Structure 1
Amino acid sequence: MSSTVKLPHQKELFGQPVGLYILFLTEMWERFSYYGMRALLVLYMTTQTVGDDRGAGLGWTNQEALALYGWYTMLVYVMSIPGGMIADKLLGQKKSVLFGAIILCLGHGVLVMTDIWAFYLGLGLVILGVGLLKPNISTMVGGLYKEGDIRRDKGFSIFYIGINLGSLLATMVVGLVVAEWGWHAGFGLAGVVMVLGLINYIYGQKYLVEVGNFTPSKGSENEISYGQLYSRLFKSPKQLTFASILLVLSIYGWYTLDWAYGLLFLFLTAITSLLMMIYKELESQVFKDRFLVLLLSFIMVIIFWGAFEQAGGLMNLYTETNTDRNFFGWMIPTVMFQSLNAGFIILFATGVAGFWAKRKLKGKEASSLFKMALGIIIMGFGFLFMVFAAMEFEKSGSSSMLWLVLAYLFHTIGELCISPVALSFITKLAPVKYAALMMGVYFAATGLGNKVAGIVGESASDYGELTIFSGILIFTVIIGGIFILMLKPLKRLTHGVEEKERDLKNELTEGFELADQ
């Protein structure tokens, strides 16, 4: 008796669907292109227009560069919401990933050009491409497994290794390419590997026949469009009042901050209203409770990435200017330090997953919510080493690269506790007909965390790195602790979704043993 439940016509390799490896490679090359560019972006913007071996940069201030970095990395993920909607209601996940990959190839191609208009257009195309590809390829991974399939978590862990293998290759190679041939050669390399990802995805369609297909609505009683959900908002006084308050605050933000923040707040108001109406329309209290837990888990996601994404911004600039990067006479390119995160993930992903599996077998706490809260705390302690680095810099005018290595190590362990776990958690709790949308909301929460990271990084100009790193350490440990204290009531609201998964695993294992007898 098999301990797994295969979809019809599904081929397997090493106990997993072959389609997983197609999506693994597609995502690996997409992440190479994204992280390669992410590693260069702030450094390129702050490099002076003349006098640098890597070629002319934009010559912006740190504050200006971090501001744009925050907007860019936020929009890359926030666009996952319309990307998920397009997949749900128009194209399906499979075609959305294809079109997203094509747009990404165009975006990176435009960035090879040196004109400022090409810089902005290229960023815009990358934002659109990732918005279509990112949420839908992750949802397709979940679609490879039937409900209760015990291979799901391991499948997402394998998929997550692909993400970080792409990041590792990018941050190891792109810095060397830029040092030799300049900034725009680095941008061009990102485009070349995205073409490889596109070719791999097209070739692998025969292994993805059963997933990601668009099924047009047949107008059944239970099928509700997003437009209908918004129209029902006006028939619900409580939700309408709350949405109106958010709208007023958005308009206030428009006039007191600037138009960009105003647009962001209006977008968040629209999404919040939609989520409220989805909650109201869910069929049972069990689904409503699970939906609520899912939304609360997104708070942890925002906080985690708001701290973690200092890697591409403030920590990147700190490495460039304040860290002794001399390694036996060789000056290590700043970009290469970001490869530590991906390298540590590849080294420790299996070990961390094994630790949680053993803990679960012993009957100890190993729920997704616990892992996510603990991940925030562990990542937060990584900033303790950045505090030590900042203190050393204030004393001697330079800090050891060892502090960076230790910080990235703790950040990585924290990431392994929250990021792949959150992806799997969404596919367990999200209502099926809103699966792609909720994956989009998850990535939008990641994007908001990225914007928070940019705002926090900008404040270093006023408060100094030591204060910022200390503040992040204290805040993340407190938030993680609060969620651990709330663990029991939150688990009750999931109505045993993970316990049922464990029970199914036990039943399948017992059946396998009986078949052997």
Structure 2
Amino acid sequence: MMKPTTNQPDFFDSKVLGHPAGLFVLFFTEMWERFSFYGMRVLLVNFLTMAVISYNPGWEWVPENATALFGTYAMLLYITPILGGIIADKLTGYNWAVVIGSILMTAGHASMALETEASLYIGLGLIIIGTGFFKPNITSIISEMYKFLPEKKDGAYTIFYMGVNAGAFFGMLLCGYLAEKLGWAYGFGLAGVFMLLGTLQFWLAKPLFGSIGDVPKKRDVEDKKDTGVELSQDEKDQVKPNPFTTLDKILIVLSAIIGLGYAINDPMSKIADFDMFAWAETPSISGQYVVVLLGLGLFLILVIGRIIRYAGVVRDRMIAFIIFAFFTVFFWMSFEQGASSLIIFARDFVDRTLSGSAAIAYNVINTALTIIPLLIITYVLYMLSKRSFSKIPGSNIVLAITFLGVWALTLWMLNRDWNTNAYEVSYQAVEQQVVEDGKPKVDDNDKPVYEYIPISENYQVQSDDKVVDKTVRLAETYELEVGQEIPMITKDNVNSTFGYLTPEKLKDTRLKAEKLNVDNKVIKAEVVEVLDNEIEIPVSWFSILNSFFIIAFASFFSKWFDSKYNPSATMKYGLGLIIMAIGFGVLAWGSHGIQEGMKVGMVWLVLAYLFHTLGELCSSPIGLSYVSKLVPARMIALMFGMWYLAIAIGNKLAAVFGGEIENITEEYSLSTFFLIFTIVPAAFGLLIISLGKVVNKLMHGVK
């Protein structure tokens, strides 16, 4: 069997766990990129919506503005890789594209750590462009590595995607922890540091790859874009050239301009109050949505016009592909609530405080969740070093430094959690009865509902204020004594959790409040009791559950789909939507009837992430594999772009609807918000299952 042409004749002889050492260089490169990407992703909406005067001050944007920006960012992340892949193919080669992308993303994370509005936009822009270079091309290197070893490719991608999940896991865990415990700049900065180190270790490993990843030579299109689907002669006859007409090109340009215009205008109109599409506004619909509907219409004309020009089997398979792409929008619209509304829900509506045996149990579980994967990945690093140190010593040294850093941060985090102290403190608050629609609000038992406004340093108590004593628990790493007077401040946006202000933080809080001419929210409290150990779980911790559940259940789903009980494509996709909807149903049930200032148990959110992940594992086999199975080779690039476009639209819709969490909660209830994401995916899941026979017929035997 032929080996890939490289400058290293023993490239495929230097193996780690049965695969070439170069695969594990890519494994760690992707791991650090996902570390930085997910580490930042889990922080952004939390940072933007956190109160400007609080324990860990953010920018206090309303959720609609924060998610509008995040949605555009997420949308563009799935579009720029289309251009990045083309540039790498034609100009830079895969290796240089990965390096360029990594450098741009590193600069983006560094820019975001400055925490100014200009640096935020610059940072997000750099990450978007950098991802466009990085994302498609690192996987292209693997594809080129295994070009003459196709039987090993599935195993290689399995190992590679373990790096994806490992990076996501540790990025959200460590960046989230530092950001919430020490400050946002630490979280954003840490993401950039590991992105830089990942770039350096990849570049220093270049001697191991030889010519793999260089600018591709001109090769046969059908060989390069082989679909892996053997067509009959009759089917091959129907794959005739379908060149883009002048009208096609005009429709592509117009649709692209409108789509990009909407992506930019949506956050700009909300944040900067500048609407490029105000001229199209109608009494019942905003101008940008009028234009979007126009763009969607043009795009449908383009797609339908091209599909009907194909004949027979090809046309039918293209229609089947479009059906899957359509339902993909609704899957990601719901699933990606994990980056927007579920972050806000975890922060403001979930009781994340554990004490006594529950705190000990959490620390034991968290220690195992963290240390065991880290030991396994460190072992992989050790094996890689044994096989490749003589060829790429610099890369191995950089990797060793990164892992020493991860181990140090992990042990510091775990030690901090195991040694957190718990206190009960008292403070004074003004009791006010909640009024809705001009009437006193009552609960389900017809009892009055009250809210309690903590009395801050700047608050002037009025003669008619009803002042009451309240107590709250603090989980701190500082040693406090009974009877000690302490300053504290709220940690969330609903005045239900509090944190102790050190002298430095107290000074900064007062100065910021004075500069903004607002209440500093500093509350005088007194320690009344020292309690058993207590811990407050970071908001970002819940996001790591997706990666954990993927690792835990992936093998089960793989065996299921390889068995005789393997469901059809439409059944898998329908189950994915329905199971994910169950997760939102759990949240709707758990949050039913909660009142102002009340919080739900964290078990509801854990269960939701479990069902969301199970839904993802059901639908993930469909994805890109069906692009290659259903689409003719000469159209595969365009259809890959369309698939990513569907995911991009889903991400944008997820952010748009996720930003309505506060509005819908105020108008109706928190339970109603989650009920929307229960009903919509479930309905579409049942719909695609009902279309099973039609879709199977359109696929003409593709399994």
What's the TM-score bracket when you normalise by the shorter of the two chains?
Answer: 0.7 to 0.9
Residue 255 of structure 1 is matched in structure 2 by 280
Letter in 1 for 2:97: S
1:312 and 2:312 are equivalent in the alignment: no
Residue 462 of structure 1 is matched in structure 2 by 663
Cα pair 1:392 1:399 within 8 Å, conserved: no
Letter in 2 for 1:307: S
Partners of 2:194 and 2:347 in 1: CA distance? 26
Cα pair 2:252 2:302 within 8 Å, conserved: no
SS at match of 1:393: coil
Shift of 1:87: 3.8
Residue 574 of structure 2 is matched in structure 1 by 373
Residue 193 of structure 1 is matched in structure 2 by 194
Matches of residues 34-433 of structure 1 in structure 2 within 5 Å? 34-52=37-55, 54=56, 56-142=57-143, 149=150, 152-205=153-206, 206-207=208-209, 209-210=211-212, 213-216=215-218, 232-234=245-247, 255-256=280-281, 279=307, 285-328=312-355, 329-357=534-562, 359=563, 362=564, 364-391=565-592, 393-394=594-595, 397-419=598-620, 421-432=622-633
Greater shift after overlay, 59-68 or 449-458?
Answer: 59-68
Partners of 2:279 and 2:568 in 1: CA distance? 41
Letter in 1 for 2:678: L
Cα pair 1:303 1:449 within 8 Å, conserved: yes
Shift of 1:396: 8.4
Choose between structure 1 and 2 for higher RCO, CA contacts under 8 A separated by at least 6 residues.
1
Letter in 2 for 1:296: I
Letter in 2 for 1:341: N
Shift of 1:246: 10
> How large is the RMSD of aligned CA atoms in angstroms?
4.0
Q: Could you report, residue by residue, the CA deviation over 1:1-50 in whole angstroms, capped at 9, with x for unpaired residues?
A: x9xx9867772654556554343322222111111111100111112333
Partners of 1:279 and 1:213 in 2: CA distance? 33
Q: Could you report, residue by residue, the CA deviation over 1:36-78 in whole angstroms, capped at 9, with x for unpaired residues?
A: 11110011111233332x3x42221222212222222222223
Residue 475 of structure 1 is matched in structure 2 by 680
Shift of 1:409: 0.5
Partners of 1:277 and 1:132 in 2: CA distance? 31
Shift of 1:179: 3.2
Q: Could you report, residue by residue, the CA deviation over 1:145-182 in whole angstroms, capped at 9, with x for unpaired residues?
A: 56994655554443332222111101111122113431
Q: Could you report, residue by residue, the CA deviation over 1:160-215 in whole angstroms, capped at 9, with x for unpaired residues?
A: 32222111101111122113431011111111111233234334544485568534
SS at match of 1:397: coil
Greater shift after overlay, 270-279 or 192-201?
Answer: 270-279
SS at match of 1:391: coil
Partners of 1:93 and 1:86 in 2: CA distance? 9
Partners of 2:157 and 2:701 in 1: CA distance? 21
Greater shift after overlay, 209-218 or 395-404?
Answer: 209-218
**% same residue:** 33
SS at match of 2:130: helix
Structure 1 residues 335 and 203: alpha-carbon distance in aligned structure 2, compared to 1, 3 A threshold: same
Shift of 1:240: 7.7
Partners of 2:20 and 2:306 in 1: CA distance? 32
Letter in 2 for 1:320: R
Greater shift after overlay, 28-37 or 296-305?
Answer: 296-305
Q: Could you report, residue by residue, the CA deviation over 1:359-401 in whole angstroms, capped at 9, with x for unpaired residues?
A: 2xx2x34344432332122111111111122215349821000
Shift of 1:485: 2.2
Structure 1 residues 439 and 104: alpha-carbon distance in aligned structure 2, compared to 1, 3 A threshold: farther
Cα pair 1:39 1:338 within 8 Å, conserved: yes
SS at match of 2:659: helix
Cα pair 1:107 1:122 within 8 Å, conserved: yes
Partners of 1:481 and 1:122 in 2: CA distance? 41
TM-score, length of structure 2 as denominator length: 0.60
Gaps of at least 5 residues in structure 1 are 499-517
Partners of 2:183 and 2:251 in 1: CA distance? 54
Partners of 2:351 and 2:552 in 1: CA distance? 25
Greater shift after overlay, 67-76 or 413-422?
Answer: 413-422
Letter in 2 for 1:400: G
Greater shift after overlay, 184-193 or 126-135?
Answer: 126-135
Partners of 1:176 and 1:72 in 2: CA distance? 23
Residue 510 of structure 1 is matched in structure 2 by none
Shift of 1:479: 1.0
Partners of 2:674 and 2:648 in 1: CA distance? 21
Residue 506 of structure 1 is matched in structure 2 by none
Structure 1 residues 88 and 317: alpha-carbon distance in aligned structure 2, compared to 1, 3 A threshold: same
Partners of 2:110 and 2:609 in 1: CA distance? 31
TM-score, length of structure 1 as denominator length: 0.79
Cα pair 1:85 1:436 within 8 Å, conserved: no
Partners of 1:345 and 1:336 in 2: CA distance? 15
Partners of 1:19 and 1:123 in 2: CA distance? 30
Residue 26 of structure 1 is matched in structure 2 by 29
Shift of 1:103: 1.3
Partners of 1:128 and 1:242 in 2: CA distance? 21
Partners of 1:414 and 1:74 in 2: CA distance? 22
Cα pair 2:277 2:291 within 8 Å, conserved: no
SS at match of 2:52: coil
Q: Could you report, residue by residue, the CA deviation over 1:265-307 in whole angstroms, capped at 9, with x for unpaired residues?
A: 788788767766875787x754444443333222232111110
Cα pair 1:44 1:57 within 8 Å, conserved: yes
Partners of 2:295 and 2:256 in 1: CA distance? 10
Letter in 2 for 1:324: D
Partners of 1:386 and 1:444 in 2: CA distance? 29
More helix by share: 1
Cα pair 1:253 1:262 within 8 Å, conserved: no
Shift of 1:255: 2.4
Shift of 1:263: 8.4
Q: Could you report, residue by residue, the CA deviation over 1:77-106 in whole angstroms, capped at 9, with x for unpaired residues?
A: 232333344345544544433322221112
Partners of 2:302 and 2:20 in 1: CA distance? 34
Letter in 2 for 1:66: T
Partners of 1:276 and 1:215 in 2: CA distance? 34
Partners of 2:141 and 2:193 in 1: CA distance? 24
Structure 1 residues 241 and 437: alpha-carbon distance in aligned structure 2, compared to 1, 3 A threshold: closer
SS at match of 2:216: coil
More strand by share: 2
Shift of 1:476: 0.9
SS at match of 1:70: helix
